[in-house]
Structure 1
Amino acid sequence: MAEQNRAEKSEPKKRTRAWLAYGCGGIALLGVATTTVGWFALGHINLASLASKRATALLGRAVSIQSLTITPGAWVGVQFQNVQVANVAGGSAPDMVQVGYLGVDVKLSSLFSGPMVVRHVRAQGVHVLVERTPAGVPNWRFKTQGMLAVPSAAPTPPAVAGLQSAGHAPPQPSQQPIMPVAKDRAHYPTVLEAELEQSDVTYRTAHGVSYQSVLHAVHMQTQGAQTPISLVVDGAYNTLPVHLEATLQPFAMLRQYQTPYGMAVRVTSGDLSVVFTGTATDPLNADGLAGAVQVETPTSAPLAAVVGYKLPQNIPLSMAGQFVHAGDLWQLTKGHAALKGNKLSVALAELYEGTHTQPDHVKADIAFEHLNMNTLLVKAEHAGQSAEADLPLAVSQTPDPLIEAHLTAQSVAYNVYNFQNFSILASVMPGVVGVQEMRVGYLGATLAASGQLQARPQGNTHIQAKALVSGVDIEAYRRALGFQPVPIKGRATLQMTAEATQPTLNAAISHATIAAAVGMTGGTLESAVIRAASADLGLLFHKATGTTPITCLLGVVSAQNGIGQVLPLRLKTEQGTLSANARFNLNNRSFDLIFATQRATTGSFALDIPVRVSGSFAKPRIGLAGLSATGRQMLAQSERLNSLPEGVRQFAQQNACYRAIAP
Structure 2
Amino acid sequence: MTQQPETVSSAKSAKRPLRFWLLCGGAGVCGVAAASVVVGWMTVSHVNFGPFVGRRATAMLGRDVSVESLSVTPGRWLKLDLGGVKVANIPGGSKPDMVDVGHLSVEIKLSTLLHGPMLVRHVTGSDIHVLVERTPDRHPNWRFKTKDIPGEASAKPHEPAADITSPDQVVPDDRSSYPTVLDVQMHNSDVTYRTAHGSEFRSTLNTITLNTKDASSPVSFTVDGAYNGQPVQLDATLQPFDALRQTHKPYGMVVKGQSGDFKFTFDGTATDPLNADGLSGAVTAETPTSHPLMTIAGMDLPQDIPLHMEGQFTHAGNFWAVTQGKGVVKNNSMTITQASLMEGERGKPDQVKADVAFDQLNVNSFLGKDGASNPSGADMVLDVSSNPDPLIDAKLSAKGVTYNVYHFSDASLSASVTPGLMAVRNLSLAYLGATLKASGKIAAAEKGNARVQGDVALAKVDIDRFRRALGFKPVPLLGQVDMQMTASATQHTLNAAVQKADIAAAVAMTSGALDKKIIQAASADISMLFNKPKGATDVSCLLGVVSSHGGVGQALPMRIKTADGTLSANARFDLNRRWFDLIFSTQGKTTGRFALDIPVRVSGSFSNPSISLAKWSADGRAMLAQSERLNTLPAGVKQFAQRNACYRAIAP
Residue 135 (structure 1) aligns with: 137
Q: Does 1:252 align with 2:231?
A: no
The reply on whether 1:301 has 2:288 as its aligned counterpart is no
1:243 to 233, 238, 254: 233
Once the two structures are superposed, residues 5-50 of structure 1 have per-residue CA deviations (whole angstroms, 9 ceiling, x without a partner) of 2111112222211111111111111111101111121111111111
Distance 2:199 2:622 in 1: 64
CA distance in 1, matches of 2:370, 2:22: 101
Query: What is the CA-CA distance between 1:660 and the residue it aligns to?
Result: 2.1
Q: 2:402: which partner in 1?
A: 413
The match for 2:466 is: 477
Q: Secondary structure at the match of 2:21?
A: helix
CA offset digits 1:507-537 (Å, max 9, x no partner): 1111111111111111122222211211111
Map residues 443-522 of structure 1 onto 2, 5 A cutoff: 443-522=432-511
Could you tell me how far 1:631 is from its partner in structure 2?
A: 5.0
Q: Is the 8 A contact 2:167 2:270 kept in 1?
A: no
Partner SS for 1:215: strand
Deviation at 1:227, TM superposition (A): 1.5
Amino acid of the structure 2 residue aligned with 1:128: V
Percent identity between the two aligned chains: 54
Within a 5 Å distance, the mapping from 1:86-165 to structure 2 comes to: 86-144=88-146, 146-148=150-152
The equivalent of 1:230 in structure 2 is: 220
CA distance in 2, matches of 1:406, 1:581: 41
Which amino acid in structure 2 is aligned with residue 542 of structure 1?
Answer: N
Structure 2 CA distance for aligned equivalents of residues 318 and 385 of structure 1: 26
Q: Which residue of 2 aligns with 1:161?
A: none
Name the residue aligned to 1:341.
Answer: 331
* Cα deviation, residue 183, structure 1: 3.5
1:301-344 deviations in Å (ceiling 9; x for gaps): 12221232211110100000011111111111100010011000
Distance 1:156 1:229 in 2: 33
Q: Distance in 2 between matches of 1:381 and 1:6?
A: 122
Change (3 A) 1:31 1:182: farther
Q: Residue 547 of structure 1: CA displacement?
A: 2.3
Partner of 1:620: 609
Q: Residues 329, 149 of structure 1: CA spacing in aligned structure 2 closer, same or farther, 3 A cutoff?
A: farther
Q: In angstroms, what is the RMSD of aligned CA positions?
A: 2.1
1:261-410 aligned within 5 A: 261-380=251-370, 388-410=377-399
Equivalence for 1:22:
24
Change (3 A) 1:532 1:151: farther
Go from structure 1 to structure 2 and tell me whether the alpha carbon gap of 1:181 and 1:196 turns closer, same or farther (over 3 Å shift).
farther
TM-score of the two chains, using structure 1 as the length reference: 0.94
Report the 3-state secondary structure (helix = DSSP H, G, I; strand = E; otherwise coil) of the residue aligned with 1:257.
Answer: coil
Partner residue in 2 for 1:649:
638
Is 1:4 matched with 2:6? yes
**Is it true that 1:424 corresponds to 2:413 in the alignment?**
yes
Match of 2:63 in 1: 61
In the alignment, what sits opposite 2:46? 44
- Return the alpha-carbon distance in structure 1 between the equivalents of residues 173 and 650 of structure 2: 79
Matched, 1:542 2:531: yes
Are the counterparts in 2 of residues 379 and 387 from structure 1 also a CA contact under 8 Å?
no
- Does the 8 A contact of 1:150 with 1:182 survive in 2? no
Q: Residue type matched to 2:233 in 1? A: H
Cα separation, 1, equivalents of 2:541 and 2:153: 71
Structure 2: tracts of 5 or more residues without a match: none
User: 2:65 and 2:240 mapped to 1: Cα distance?
Assistant: 32
- Aligned residue in 1 for 2:172: 182
Q: Distance in 1 between matches of 2:565 and 2:50?
A: 106
Q: Contact 1:151 / 1:327 at 8 angstroms: preserved in 2? A: no
Q: Distance in 2 between matches of 1:186 and 1:557?
A: 75
Change over 3 Å in CA distance of 1:353–1:343 after alignment to 2: same
1:216 and 1:62 map into 2 onto residues whose CA distance is 28
Q: Amino acid of the residue matched to residue 649 of structure 2?
A: A
User: Are residue 442 (structure 1) and residue 442 (structure 2) matched?
Assistant: no
SS in 1 for 2:136: coil
Decide whether the 8 Å contact of 2:45 with 2:74 is kept in 1.
yes
Residue 541 (structure 1) shift:
1.9
User: Mind listing any 5+ residue stretches in structure 1 that lack a counterpart?
Assistant: 158-173
Residue deviations 1:637-662, cap 9 Å, x none?
44444721111111112222122225
Alignment partner of 1:405: what SS? strand
Counterpart of 2:151, as a letter, is M
By how many angstroms is 1:381 displaced?
A: 7.0
CA–CA distance in structure 1, aligned partners of residues 556 and 405 of structure 2: 29
Q: How much does 1:629 deviate?
A: 7.6
Contact 1:498 1:514 in 2 (8 A): yes
Judge conservation of contact 2:364–2:371 (CA < 8 Å) in 1.
no
CA–CA separation in structure 2 for the residues paired with 1:593 and 1:308: 56
The total of aligned residue pairs comes to 646
Instruction: Work out whether residues 239 and 253 of structure 2, in 8 Å CA contact, stay in contact via their aligned partners in 1.
Output: yes
Give the aligned partner of residue 577 of structure 1: 566
Supply the distance in 2 between the matched residues of 1:411 and 1:9 (Cα, whole angstroms): 119
Counterpart selection for 1:199 from 179, 189, 200: 189
Task: Please say if residues 145 and 155 of structure 2, whose CA atoms lie closer than 8 Å, have aligned partners that are also in contact.
Answer: no
Aligned position for 1:595: 584
**For 1:554, which of 515, 533, 543 is the aligned residue?**
543
Q: How does 1:68-83 map to 2 (within 5 A)?
A: 68-83=70-85
Aligned partner letter, 1:420: S
Does structure 2 retain, via aligned residues, the 8 Å contact 1:625–1:635? no
- Structure 2 contact 167–277 (Cα < 8 Å) conserved: no
Instruction: Name the SS for the 2:59 alignment partner.
Output: helix
* Distance in 2, Cα, partners of 1:429 & 1:293: 30
CA distance in 1, matches of 2:578, 2:160: 57
Aligned 8 A contact 2:375 2:403 in 1: no
Q: Distance in 2 between matches of 1:651 and 1:35?
A: 100
Name the stretch that deviates more: 636-645 or 496-505: 636-645
Determine helix, strand or coil for the equivalent of 1:27.
helix
Conserved? CA contact 2:177–2:245, under 8 Å: yes
- In structure 2, relative to structure 1, the CA distance for the partners of 1:150 and 1:501 (3 Å cut) is farther
Deviates more, 1:49-58 or 1:175-184: 175-184
> Cα–Cα, structure 1 residues 270 and 442, in superposed 2: closer, same or farther, change >3 Å?
same
Aligned equivalents of 2:118 and 2:651: distance in 1? 96
If the length of structure 2 is used for normalisation, what is the TM-score?
Answer: 0.95
Take 1:619 and 1:632, find their aligned partners in 2: how far apart are those partners?
26
- Deviation per CA, 1:139-171, whole angstroms, max 9, x where unpaired? 1111027434799999856xxxxxxxxxxxxxx
Match of residue 33 from structure 2: 31
Aligned residue type for 1:467: V
Cα distance change of structure 1 residues 148 and 572 upon mapping to structure 2, 3 Å threshold:
farther
Q: Which amino acid aligns with 2:26?
A: C
Q: Distance in 1 between matches of 2:616 and 2:541?
A: 30
| Per-residue CA distance 1:531-578 (angstroms, 9 max, x = gap) | 121111111222212322212111001011111110001111121110
Aligned partner of residue 615 in structure 2, secondary structure: helix
Asked if structure 2 preserves the Cα contact closer than 8 Å seen for 1:103 and 1:123, the reply is: yes
Q: Once the two structures are superposed, what CA deviation does each residue of 1:422-458 show, in whole Å capped at 9, x if it has no partner? A: 0111111111111111111111111111111111122
Residues 237, 104 of structure 1: alpha-carbon distance in 2 compared, 3 angstrom cutoff: same
Q: Structure 2 vs 1, CA of residues 609 and 149 (structure 1 numbering), >3 Å: closer, same or farther? A: farther
Output the CA distance in 1 between the equivalents of 2:223 and 2:288: 23
Question: Which AA in structure 2 matches 1:67?
Answer: S
